Structure 1
């Protein structure tokens, strides 16, 4: 069997496993099933089948980057002209978000570096209260452990989604629905929506790389779409099927990195993740309690806006509470942009510590 044929068969096995995991996760009612289900399934495949080889599992970087660009385009569609009517409130809450990001980053870095014993690059990017995809991409370029970063951010997403509803129940006595049947689509998508994504994603990817944006595959398309959408130049529906496919591909690419993971490392990541999420949500809850005295938003809406979960899932939870998904997604989009900006700036100043390599 040729090396190329072997790689293609390996990729086919990974993608088939990812699809099975995604469908199983959706059937079980998991949050973000196409991302988390594919990630878990391919991680298990890597742990049980590929881990003995000691070699990285084949997954084309170009395929991953293309679908990261699709996700960036989808996130950008949540930015609409409606945000302009919320500017007075956003002026206050987004300033608070900057403080939240700095506090969360510093607290989590201390947890991962001093309690977890991770090297500086891995600790720094594991500490990001931002998305799984951009943290792993930036961490990889900085020399961090991509496997550890993937695990820690996966744990963060799962724990935030599980803990936030329980926090509402304890603090407010209200139960948050899963909103499993909700969607970010504005209406039925047609071929024009698919064509717009097909055009914007690669163009944004190219712009991101040429302009040397951090996490360029994500931020290039995201910023381009946000500008076009908020200016009213486009009205992209965001095809749900394409978003699901993109999450499946990205989840599979991350799960494929688990070939060298052991159950012991997974348990360690879960323990550290619980400490990190507990501290981060404590900061978010404190800010939400303070801010509700100054802005016309409920504690629930503020906490969902600050909780460092996925943009899609937090927006779905917002829908289940009757909160504005535009407002919530705007906060998460700003959190991602500000977190990535701060991470790029601060790590350049910190530099690499030879003692940690």
Structure 2
């Protein structure tokens, strides 16, 4: 009986992949183009962008939401994998910057949300989701799970614009201040032996079980939230050390980007220009707030400005960590503060989505 149910699930997954093969192929092509042109988060934003291009045509593309559960699980583990044991020995030095990060996140959201609400005339909750400074993947996952299509374009395009704009701006600033440095990797080296596969298998299973536990409490995006929180703890205490290889990560991002892009069918060129324009303005505001926070921490508490700004600039967490490694800045300092911002946003998301359901 159990074997029949398992085979039935496999058939359902296969049929869903078969239905969405067009979108997946478009996503793969978009991700590859993203790597060629140097796009930040290339496999995510590239696959989203090319699927978005087809949204202006009559070509029908579809991507079932059911395929996203394993993707959310992997992405959550990826985010948790930015931490390691050295955090335990340093976190007591970052109490004030941690408080500053939470204040900065709240302040940035209030300013950007006010702009979207007053200037762009978004609904209040959509204004807040579009304004959240970071956590693009958790926000995207929550939107896909929530399924309110009218909110997708108003949130996803400004959020994607923020990632591209800030991740493009920060390296220019660093090259001007510190000179050019090669940016090539995250600093993790996997040894693909039996221990590696046992650790990855253990990590996937325990995160999956923990996500199922959270689901009982009706927490939105339990798969992504559970995987991110639990894997972060396991990596910090070095219970596991193995990370997913880049190829696996890229595949997960292709699926996620494809799902996001396929939800934007019917978008008009005027709407796209409108969202990108205001997304750039809000991104500039977020950079100014991050700079001001880093300056205040430097003046009053002795933090170095450049590492602190890198930690507070709400770009992609992986891109910021890569920049920190390239310029010999403590990657744990950078990843911890970005992880803290993402975690604080993820904790707030359920309350926002509950408000969505009520309306």
Tell me if the contact between 1:169 and 1:175 (Cα under 8 Å) persists in the aligned partners: yes
Alpha-carbon distance between aligned partners in 2 of 1:176 and 1:260, rounded to the nearest angstrom:
42
Q: Secondary structure at the match of 1:48?
A: coil
- String of CA shifts for 1:135-171, please: whole Å, max 9, x gaps: 234456395612321212111110111122334456x
Tell me if the contact between 2:152 and 2:264 (Cα under 8 Å) persists in the aligned partners: no
Residue 186 of structure 2 aligns with which residue? Answer: 183
Structure 1 position 38 matched with structure 2 position 47: yes
Structure 1 position 14 matched with structure 2 position 20: no
Tell me if the contact between 2:40 and 2:163 (Cα under 8 Å) persists in the aligned partners: no
| Number of aligned residues | 342
Structure 1 position 116 matched with structure 2 position 131: no
Structure 1 position 47 matched with structure 2 position 56: yes
Q: Secondary structure at the match of 1:233?
A: coil
Residue 271 of structure 1 aligns with which residue? Answer: 277
Structure 2 vs 1, CA of residues 206 and 274 (structure 1 numbering), >3 Å: closer, same or farther? same
Structure 1 position 338 matched with structure 2 position 347: no
Structure 1 position 155 matched with structure 2 position 158: no
Q: Please state how far the C-alpha of 1:318 moved relative to its aligned partner.
A: 1.1
Residue 321 of structure 1 aligns with which residue? Answer: 327
- String of CA shifts for 1:237-282, please: whole Å, max 9, x gaps: 2322211111111011101111121111111111111111111110
Alpha-carbon distance between aligned partners in 2 of 1:73 and 1:310, rounded to the nearest angstrom:
16
Structure 1 position 312 matched with structure 2 position 318: yes
Of 130, 135, 156, the residue aligned with 2:134 is 130
The correspondence of residues 46-125 of structure 1 with structure 2, limited to 5 A, is 46-50=55-59, 57-125=61-129
User: Which stretch shows the higher mean deviation, 153-162 or 200-209?
Assistant: 200-209
Structure 1 position 302 matched with structure 2 position 308: yes
Tell me if the contact between 1:73 and 1:200 (Cα under 8 Å) persists in the aligned partners: no
Q: Please state how far the C-alpha of 1:105 moved relative to its aligned partner.
A: 0.7
Residue 252 of structure 2 aligns with which residue? Answer: 246
Structure 2 vs 1, CA of residues 78 and 46 (structure 1 numbering), >3 Å: closer, same or farther? same
Tell me if the contact between 2:31 and 2:43 (Cα under 8 Å) persists in the aligned partners: yes
Structure 2 vs 1, CA of residues 13 and 94 (structure 1 numbering), >3 Å: closer, same or farther? same
Tell me if the contact between 2:73 and 2:204 (Cα under 8 Å) persists in the aligned partners: no
Alpha-carbon distance between aligned partners in 2 of 1:38 and 1:196, rounded to the nearest angstrom:
30
RMSD between aligned alpha carbons? 2.7
Tell me if the contact between 1:18 and 1:38 (Cα under 8 Å) persists in the aligned partners: yes
Alpha-carbon distance between aligned partners in 2 of 1:196 and 1:103, rounded to the nearest angstrom:
39
Alpha-carbon distance between aligned partners in 1 of 2:221 and 2:133, rounded to the nearest angstrom:
15
Unaligned segments of structure 2, at least 5 residues: 1-12
Instruction: Compute the TM-score of the two structures, normalised by the length of structure 2.
Output: 0.86
Alpha-carbon distance between aligned partners in 2 of 1:66 and 1:241, rounded to the nearest angstrom:
15
Alpha-carbon distance between aligned partners in 1 of 2:323 and 2:58, rounded to the nearest angstrom:
36
Alpha-carbon distance between aligned partners in 2 of 1:214 and 1:94, rounded to the nearest angstrom:
25
Tell me if the contact between 1:176 and 1:317 (Cα under 8 Å) persists in the aligned partners: no
Tell me if the contact between 2:135 and 2:346 (Cα under 8 Å) persists in the aligned partners: no
Alpha-carbon distance between aligned partners in 2 of 1:175 and 1:49, rounded to the nearest angstrom:
47
- String of CA shifts for 1:158-209, please: whole Å, max 9, x gaps: 0111122334456xx3346461x21352334453454245424423432332
Alpha-carbon distance between aligned partners in 1 of 2:15 and 2:226, rounded to the nearest angstrom:
33
User: Which stretch shows the higher mean deviation, 287-296 or 267-276?
Assistant: 287-296
Q: Secondary structure at the match of 2:132?
A: coil
Q: Secondary structure at the match of 1:23?
A: helix
Tell me if the contact between 1:125 and 1:135 (Cα under 8 Å) persists in the aligned partners: yes
User: Which stretch shows the higher mean deviation, 142-151 or 300-309?
Assistant: 142-151
